Copies of this chain bind each other. A is one copy, B any other.
Amino acid sequence: MVEIRKMLIEMKNISELMLDLAYSSVLYNLQDVAEEVVYLEERIDKLNAEVQIKAVEMAINDKNAAKAVAMIRLAYYIENIADAAVMVAKTVLDGGSVHPVLRKSFEESEVTIVMQRVSPNSILAGKTLGEIKLASETGMWVIAVRRGDRWIFGPTEHTKIMPGDVLIARGHPEGVEHFINICEGREREL
């Protein structure tokens, strides 16, 4: 039961990351980010299948059908969200370039996604995301970090930010300017 709940939480977290990454991949035409969305979908499928099995096994033991059905349904809803994220990401993977009209639509939407390099002067350089509390101080939430030619997707509070890292963050438009200034080292206080 605890195990199934953990799987559902992981599925929900992954599906949310997938949507943000899918929009990012379109906005900045990032093939590798779009590929990550497809990769995460495999994880979602696997978790969905496991939730179904574990939930039915649980029902056989505790005779509580409603609980098992609630869990199976939730996993199914989340899987649908993940599928939609994959559809968005596939516009980047389907060869050809993403039509500018899509990019424009995403740029002007309420949930903002920004990509910004961390300057060596930035107060973020050398700190973990947990230390700097960027999310609660700027409203911008880091969803991916590019370091050289590799990516860290869904960084945790333990992820250390290095000078030169490129951050992709999502958040409310009102936090964008502060976030960019912090990354560029123009503002030295959070």
Contact = CB atoms under 8 A, between A and B. Distances in A.
Contacts of A133: 174
A136 B135 contact: no
A109 interface: yes
Interface residues of A, number: 50
A81 B19 contact: yes
A87 interface: yes
A82 to B, nearest CB: 9
Contacts of A110: 12-13, 16
Copies in the complex: 2
A102 B83 CA distance: 21
A9 to B, nearest CB: 5
A85 to B, nearest CB: 8
A28 interface: no
A189 to B, nearest CB: 13
A91 B70 contact: yes
A48 B109 CA distance: 16
A93 B139 CA distance: 32
Contact of A172 (B8, B141, B174): B141
Given A135-B139, A137-B139, 10 more contacts: A1-B101, A12-B105, A13-B111, A16-B109, A66-B96, A70-B91, A74-B88, A76-B87, A80-B84, A133-B174
14 contacts: A5-B101, A9-B109, A12-B109, A16-B109, A67-B101, A71-B102, A74-B88, A74-B105, A77-B87, A133-B174, A135-B171, A136-B172, A136-B174, A138-B139
